Amino acid sequence: QSLKIGLIPADGIGKEVIPAARRVLEAIGSDIPKPEFVPLLAGWEVFVRDGTALPEETVEALRECDGALFGAVSSPSRRVTGYSSPIVALRKELDLYANVRPVISVSANPDDKPAVDLVVVRENTECLYVKQEQLVHSENGREARAIRLITERASRRIGKMAFEIALSRPRKQVTIVHKSNVLTITDGLFRETIRQIPSESNGRYDSVKLEEQIVDSAVYRLFREPQIYDVMVAPNLYGDILSDAAAALVGSLGLVPSVNAGDKFVMGEPVHGSAPDIEGKGIANPIAAIRSAALMLRHLGYAAPAHRIDRAVDQVIREGQVLTPDLGGKSSTDDVLNAVLKKL
Ligand code: NAI
Ligand code: MG
């Protein structure tokens, strides 16, 4: 028996951090079935070469895998004919409807509670990311419009995921993040649907405390008193922004992992992008990718080895001797990888 894992480094530092995560998975030993890695293509470079950012073979191969790791794509900020972000497409193709992003600070003393310990649960398939944009010409000149899709079905399943995650955590608190004071219909549906979940759950979520917060003040309070949050559940765009913002609280985007999870498949993915400013320098922080591998294992049911990886990473951060420049250190990607491997 083996654990078949698709590897999609894609662009930029994705190609530097995904190999590091692979090395860590290889070093786990008999706690998991022997990993078998399937290298796969996607991204901007592939698009420039072959005219498609997500080759059909990649999607087909992933359907045969137990899990996957995705690096990052260099999506251009301008519109390019024929190009569409492969990560957004993959989330849809594989129905990876939840993006789960734990943001945890490492305390100086291993016995202390971390100052920040929260999970952003981001809806991954709809909201403005359905990308139904339109440019029309009106008396105001060019006018751009976008559809924002919120469905009851997607809101319910992301809400349930948030409640399930809360159940597994000591504080058991879910905060719905929305803007339903302004967007009463779309965010209103998101909020209403999630608020109803406890009463439809036969008591399963009775121990979970349900809170809510308007998105702008949620960001404000996140910066002033991050400890008030446990599990934050949000529509796609707010969740995207919230999790990058939360990453600033723990020192670097280079530390924050995520998984894209559906009912049948899970794909780990560092929250950061392809970081063109440091690409090719060998100084990308591999920790977000390594933690994403651990999070993937956790979602596949291998909690113990996931925990071992997280502890090894925490020790390296806590000791502070081997850190990449984003954390104020002078070490390389490989130095950090080797330090983590040694702790393992
Ligand atoms: P970014 O996350 O790539 O970089 C933001 C800043 O954080 C940069 O200064 C970068 O050097 C730093 N940083 C990020 N990850 C790091 C790491 N592991 N170690 C050390 N420093 C790190 O965001 P940016 O610059 O806005 O986007 C660059 C490209 O990445 C764009 O083309 C964007 O479309 C893409 N992107 C892709 C994502 C994905 O694949 N899911 C997510 C976010 C952005
Ligand atoms: Mg983002």
Which ligand gives the minimal distance to the CA of 73? 1
Contacts of 99 (CB under 8 A, 6+ apart): 91, 120, 121, 122, 123, 124, 239, 243, 258, 259, 260, 261
34 belongs to the catalytic site: no
**Shortest-distance Cα residue to atom 12 of ligand 1:** 275
Tell me the pLDDT tens digit for each residue of 50-63: 999 999 999 999 99
Beta pairing partners, 102: 119
Helix, strand, or coil here: 301? coil
Q: Which CATH architecture has domain 117-249?
A: 3-Layer(aba) Sandwich (3.40)
Domain limits, CATH 3.40.718.10, in the chain: 1-104+253-344, 117-249
Cβ of 254 less than 6 Å from ligand 1: yes
Beta pairing partners, 122: 99, 234
Contacts of 173 (CB under 8 A, 6+ apart): 166, 208, 209, 210, 211, 229, 230, 231
Tell me the pLDDT tens digit for each residue of 187-205: 999 999 999 999 999 999 9
Tell me the pLDDT tens digit for each residue of 303-338: 999 999 999 999 999 999 999 999 999 999 999 999
Cβ of 43 less than 6 Å from ligand 1: no
**Shortest-distance Cα residue to atom 6 of ligand 1:** 275
Question: For residue 166, which of 200, 197, 131 has the smallest C-alpha distance?
Answer: 197
Spatial separation of the C-alpha atoms in residues 105 and 110, rounded to whole Å: 11
**Shortest-distance Cα residue to atom 32 of ligand 1:** 74
Query: How many helices (H) and strands (E) would you count in the chain?
Result: 11, 12
CATH number assigned to the domain covering 1-104+253-344: 3.40.718.10
Instruction: Give pTM, 2 decimals.
Output: 0.92
Can you give the pLDDT at residue 111? 87
In ligand 1, the atom with minimum distance to the C-alpha of 10 is 40
Which ligand gives the minimal distance to the CA of 324? 1
Task: Inform me whether the pLDDT recorded for 107 exceeds 90.
Answer: no
Contacts of 59 (CB under 8 A, 6+ apart): 90, 93, 94
216 belongs to the catalytic site: yes
Give the residue, out of 253, 255, 285, 317, with the most ligand 1 atoms within 8 A of its beta carbon, to mutate for a pocket test.
253
Token look-up 């591999």 returns 286
Pairing of β 67-72 and β 98-104: unpaired
HSE (CB half, 13 Å, CA atoms) of 25?
32
Tell me the pLDDT tens digit for each residue of 109-138: 888 888 999 999 999 999 999 999 999 999
179 belongs to the catalytic site: yes
Question: CB 129: neighbour CB atoms within 10 A?
Answer: 20
